[in-house]
Amino acid sequence: MFKKIKNEKLTIPGIILLLVLLAYGLLTPRMGFYWDDWPFAWLLRFFGPTEFIAAFRPFRPFLGPIFTITTAIFGGDPFTWQLVGLAIRFLLSLELWYVLRLVWPSQKRNLMWVVLLFTVYPGYQQQWVSLTHINQEIIPLTWLIASFGLTAFAIRNERHRKGLTILAIVLQAMGLFSTEYFFGLEILRFFFLLAIFSEILTTRKDVLQKAVYSWFPYFCVWILNAVWTYAYHHSTAYNSYNINILSSSAFSPLAIGNEILTTISLSGFVSWLNTFNIVSALDGTLTQILSLTILLVSASAIFMFMRFFLDETTDQYLLKEDSWGKWAISIGLAVIFAGRLPSWAAGLPLKLEFDYDRFFLSIMFGASLFIVGLATFILNDGKRKIFILSLLIGLSTAYQFSVANTFRRDTSNQQDIFWQMAWRMPALKKGTVLLTYELPLKYVSDLQITAPLNWMYASTITDRQLPYLLLYIKSRFNSTTLPSLQPNVPIQLQYRTVEFNGSTSDSVVIYKDADGCLRVLDSVYANAETVPGASYFLLNAIPLSKPNLIQGKAPQPILNKKLFGSEPAHGWCYFYEKAELARQQSDWEGVVKLYDQTKKAKLSASVPVENLPFIEALAITGQTDLALQLTDRTLKIQKELCPAIYSLWDRVLKNLSTRTLNASDINERIRQNGCKP
């Protein structure tokens, strides 16, 4: 058995693959598109792969060809991109292993720890935003790491040094010019050269001179990249973040000190400590049980693997005073700050939360090297180190799985909202803006949701004009896109290669809380009284809402199952959406029929406000007793709806002026539920 374990050509890829699958792959079939995946997939579907050339020209002009090639090969299926994401994450770790072995051939155990921690680094939590990050960051990172490997190989093999150096420079340029994420990591090549030459040469002066000489051609490319990046970002062609670091207060001693402490704390310690959250509160949920199982499996596998890794003579000639731990700590810290440099220059914060955690992608190697160096320096080699690092890897693997589950839930929530849109709004007049304060979605925002919104309601695109737009008032109010919430205010948005031109007077205001169904708000039936406690900005938008922009008699849109999932079973929200649509068309009999179907199916409202259209329909169609009973049940749960209930019954009494219905009796019934007149 141990002989097989010692066969590193099989076991090292195997153990890396195990971690990748446990951390990122178990929920793959249930993942979808997130964040910029949606607009990128939409551009691909309606304009083709070459559209990315123009789409990225104002941001990162050398990224467009990468997207063009990969999307031409893999298409726009979210499941395919999740599989590609797993494959390239596995290859990235394997590539790093081979490169590090070229640099420090005597440090197999320690380098294996670095690679395993790098594989499941918990600070970076966007593995599943696959279409975006594979192309935008991970492919350039693989090129840069491959360039490091070729440099190391060229130093150790004189025979093909010139050709290998040229190829390394080409890969360096491809990795640096395509994205600014990894600009700072070029310093890592210099550290690698120092490490290699320190094994060959005896004096520090010779080591430094040789390293500087060998690094010089790469340094020239690095400087060229810096000049080009600065010039491009200050040119009229650039249209993204405003970079003003050279004239900002970021260079003050206090600001720099704070940034150093924050970066070290978050990347070197807090990111690892956060993994203990999965065992901090035992609640017995299925997700937690699965996470704990993954923790035990991965930690045990790593412990056994490292305990019997290679042979007993591995690294035995290294003395206790071996300086590798200090090297690793020093280089790790330097690379952490080097990885942070681009996002700091752009004035973007480093946070362990979506979507800022993407900046940890350029930091995670430095953080992994730092923690292994720290463990080596404090614990030396031995069972304690193996146990602690195995536990940390197990915790990180389980933690990534728990994060994956939040992405799975977000896909489910996305699909749920899109299907409710389809039920409630079969079609929309072109030029319609959907306004909402915010939707209960974590990994997608308003401009990203605009892509599937147009995918649903516009099966063809004939020009560069977006037919529909969704805006979060929370994010866009008082901006150039949404200057105010007054009528007849133009709404204009340029997004990549398409644009939207509309008006606040062509708006439909929607609302959805985490527990309820999607609602279309308006000034009569679903006004401010029906959303107690809602944001001031949402309430101000309600008068703009025009439900007549919804074409109720149109057929329901056909949703792509790969993107939106299969149509869910018709539960409460289906009948509620259809009832809202029927009420919009004054089809009160239709609303009552839908209510009867909910009773037969033994369904009830998700939140009390969803009873309102049924109360009104029952009352208008003469079923007053049932309407009052439903009123009682609604107010018993949520007293805040008292004003909405009074308004509802006032409308009913006006509509039933020819019938005998005592207003004072109705109001008394409402007061008995604790409502004040």
**318 has a pLDDT exceeding 50:** no
For residues 142 and 182, the answer to whether their CB atoms sit within 8 Å is no
Six-digit token string for 125: 């939590």
Q: pLDDT tens digits, residue range 628-677?
A: 999 999 999 999 999 999 999 999 988 775 455 678 888 888 898 888 87
* Adjacent-strand bridge partners of 434: 470, 508
For residues 81 and 36, the answer to whether their CB atoms sit within 8 Å is no
For 647-656, letters b (16+ CB in 10 Å) and e give bbbeebbeee
Give 248-292 as a DSSP string: SGGGSHHHHHHHHHHHHIIIIIIHHHGGGGGGTS----HHHHHHH
Per-residue confidence at 442, pLDDT binned at 50, 70, 90? very high
**CB-neighbour burial class of residue 561 (10 A; exposed 0-12, middle 13-18, buried 19+):** exposed
The C-alpha atoms of residue 502 and residue 491 are separated, in whole angstroms, by 5
Per-residue confidence at 239, pLDDT binned at 50, 70, 90? low
| pLDDT score recorded for residue 382 | 77
| pLDDT score recorded for residue 1 | 42
Average pLDDT over residues 515-524: 95
**238 has a pLDDT exceeding 80:** no
Contacts of 216 (CB under 8 A, 6+ apart): none
Give 498-509 as a DSSP string: EEEEEEGGGEEE
Q: pLDDT tens digits, residue range 153-193?
A: 999 888 888 999 999 999 999 999 999 999 999 999 999 99
Q: Is the peptide bond before 322 cis (omega within 30 degrees of 0)?
A: no
Could you tell me which of 29, 134, 132, 33 has the C-alpha nearest to residue 91? Answer: 134
**313 has a pLDDT exceeding 80:** no
Could you tell me which of 413, 410, 403 has the C-alpha nearest to residue 22? Answer: 403
Contacts of 579 (CB under 8 A, 6+ apart): 590, 591, 594, 595, 613, 614, 617
Per-residue confidence at 388, pLDDT binned at 50, 70, 90? very high
Residue 267 CB: number of other CB atoms within 10 A?
30
**CB-neighbour burial class of residue 487 (10 A; exposed 0-12, middle 13-18, buried 19+):** exposed
* Adjacent-strand bridge partners of 493: 500
Whole-number Cα distances in Å, 190 to 212, 219, 336: 8, 9, 15
Contacts of 673 (CB under 8 A, 6+ apart): 631, 632, 635, 636, 639, 642
Give 400-447 as a DSSP string: HHHHHHHHHHHHHHHHHHHHHHHHH-S-B-TT-EEEES--S-SS--HH
Pairing verdict, β 469-472 and 433-436: parallel
CA 463 to chain centre: 30
Long-range CB pairs of 560-565, under 8 A, 24+ apart, other chains included = 560/455, 562/77, 562/78, 562/79, 563/32, 563/33, 563/41, 563/78, 563/452, 563/455, 564/415, 564/418, 564/419, 564/452, 564/456, 565/415, 565/419
Residue 221 CB: number of other CB atoms within 10 A?
18
| pLDDT score recorded for residue 244 | 52
* Adjacent-strand bridge partners of 550: 428
The region of weakest confidence among 63-72, 380-389, 403-412 is 380-389
Length of the chain in terms of residues written: 677
| pLDDT score recorded for residue 317 | 40
**338 has a pLDDT exceeding 80:** yes
| pLDDT score recorded for residue 321 | 41
**395 has a pLDDT exceeding 60:** yes
Six-digit token string for 49: 């792969």
Q: Is 545 helix (H, G, I), strand (E, B) or coil?
A: strand
Whole-number Cα distances in Å, 285 to 279, 290, 292, 407: 12, 9, 11, 17
The percentage of the chain sitting over the pLDDT mark of 90, rounded to a whole number, equals 76
Could you tell me which of 427, 446, 464, 428 has the C-alpha nearest to residue 46? Answer: 464
Average pLDDT over residues 400-404: 96
Q: pLDDT tens digits, residue range 559-612?
A: 999 999 999 999 999 999 999 999 999 999 999 999 999 999 999 999 999 999
Q: Residue 471: which H helix or E strand, with range?
A: strand 469-472
Average pLDDT over residues 207-231: 93
**CB-neighbour burial class of residue 503 (10 A; exposed 0-12, middle 13-18, buried 19+):** middle
| pLDDT score recorded for residue 164 | 93
If you ran DSSP here, which 8-state letter would residue 7 be given? -
Whole-number Cα distances in Å, 470 to 416, 457, 584, 588: 17, 13, 21, 30
The C-alpha atoms of residue 74 and residue 65 are separated, in whole angstroms, by 14
Query: How many CA atoms, within 13 angstroms, populate the side-chain half-sphere of residue 405?
Result: 15
435 — phi, psi (to 5°)? -110, 135
| pLDDT score recorded for residue 285 | 82
Pairing verdict, β 433-436 and 507-511: parallel
| pLDDT score recorded for residue 2 | 45
Could you tell me which of 489, 490, 486, 493 has the C-alpha nearest to residue 470? Answer: 493
**280 has a pLDDT exceeding 90:** no
Q: pLDDT tens digits, residue range 102-127?
A: 999 989 899 999 999 999 999 999 99
| pLDDT score recorded for residue 242 | 55
The mean pLDDT of the chain is 91
Q: Which residue has the higher pLDDT, 279 or 11?
A: 11
Could you tell me which of 50, 66, 48, 181 has the C-alpha nearest to residue 131? Answer: 66
| pLDDT score recorded for residue 250 | 61
Helix H, strand E, coil C: the string for 332-394 is: HHHHHHHHHHHHHHCCCCCCCCCCHHHHHHHCHHHHHHHHHHHHHHHHCCCHHHHHHHHHHHH
The structure tokens 């949606």 sit at: 38
First to last CA, the chain: 81
The C-alpha atoms of residue 155 and residue 96 are separated, in whole angstroms, by 17
Could you tell me which of 550, 266, 552 has the C-alpha nearest to residue 432? Answer: 550
Q: Which residue has the higher pLDDT, 311 or 481?
A: 481
For 54-69, letters b (16+ CB in 10 Å) and e give ebbbbbbbebbbbbbe
Per-residue confidence at 9, pLDDT binned at 50, 70, 90? confident
The C-alpha atoms of residue 361 and residue 339 are separated, in whole angstroms, by 8
